[in-house]
Amino acid sequence: MKVALWYNNKDIRIKNVPTPKPNKKEMLVKVISCGICGSDIVEWYRLPRAPLVQGHEIGAQVLTVGKSVKKYKPGDRVFIAPKVPCMKCYYCKNGHYPQCLEVKERLPGGFAEYILVPEILIENGTYLLPQDISFDQSTFIEPLACVVRAQRLAGVKKGQTVLVIGCGMSGLLNVKLARTKGCRIIAADINQKKLEIARQMGADIITNAADDISKQLVKESCKKADVVFLCASADSAVEQAWKCVDKGGVVVLFAVPGPDKKVVVPVNDFWMKEITILTSYYCGPPDIIEAIKLIEWHNIIVDDLITHRLPLKDIVKGFQLVTDGRKSIKVIIKPNI
């Protein structure tokens, strides 16, 4: 079978490797669709494990199952989470599923024709796709689940003013989800094309992130934002987030600068204004279940975010599109075409 072995964003090699055979507690799936996530191109995050097969936004079809696997059968359409929590440890019991340290096994990367799914992911990380969710739509389940979790942690509710800084895929999903909750939404980006898309997705106001967003907020809404979602990692975006949150508000760090960057937090100002800073990393099983329902019930439309579908042989082009960011939103790799 063919896999895309990632060394860095400019060095991705298509390799032929033996197709694995499942043991009695494993199953083999055929990857139909796998999205390129924004985190896939973050080299400081991925390089320590290179070379590796990336890809964790997966829609697949079950090919063969081990004799002990009873939950799934050949032909089943599935979404598979890249990792799962144990649901029993201190962190899981307190809702911090991404911090679970008990289960360390990860799903093999989805930029491959086939994946061997281990037992723990069959039991706790595999979900049957509803008939109304296509394989391409299933690539949004994991990123949308991350957005679901972030907005839940931030307590987003009807009537709030929500600012989204950065209108890539995660930013636009935040716009879409906040729209379903009856929020007033301001979207900021330096790319005018993405701002226009954000408007189409439900943003009430769009503004260039290179301008003073806080002044625009006050002008348009007579107040700053109740919740700010930072979906861009640039230093300037972080500074804008600090300036744009209202008293008693929340800043959610959905994206972060590289580990070599020093972020200065205006602690004294935030202390007096009772500002909350939240981080949101990954998602948990309840968020995945909610994301599946949101897509299945058409509460969140995702097809309009897909800009490119590419075969595995063109994955370098896909990474270039996502890295550049100006002409793409959602790039999906189709390993078996």
pLDDT tens-place string over residues 168-224: 999 999 999 999 999 999 999 999 999 999 999 999 999 999 999 999 899 888 899
For the chain, residues classed under CATH 3.40.50.720 are: 149-279
Domain 2-140+302-334 = CATH 3.90.180.10: yes
Residue 259 class from Cβ within 10 Å (0-12 exposed, 13-18 middle, 19+ buried)? exposed
Cβ–Cβ under 8 Å, residues 60 and 31: yes
Would you write out the chain's pLDDT as a tens digit for each of its 337 residues?
999 999 999 999 999 999 999 999 999 999 999 999 999 999 999 999 999 999 999 999 999 999 999 999 999 999 999 999 999 999 999 999 999 989 888 899 999 999 999 999 999 999 999 999 999 999 999 999 999 999 999 999 999 999 999 999 999 999 999 999 999 999 999 999 999 999 999 999 999 999 999 998 998 888 999 999 999 999 999 999 999 999 999 999 999 999 998 999 999 999 999 999 999 999 999 999 999 999 999 999 999 999 999 999 999 999 999 999 999 999 999 999 9
Among the listed residues 69, 4, 72, the one whose alpha carbon sits nearest the alpha carbon of residue 34: 4
| Choices 3.20.20.80, 1.10.3210.10, 3.90.25.10, 3.40.50.720: CATH for 149-279 | 3.40.50.720
Cβ–Cβ under 8 Å, residues 146 and 282: yes
SS3 call for 43:
helix
For the chain, residues classed under CATH 3.90.180.10 are: 2-140+302-334
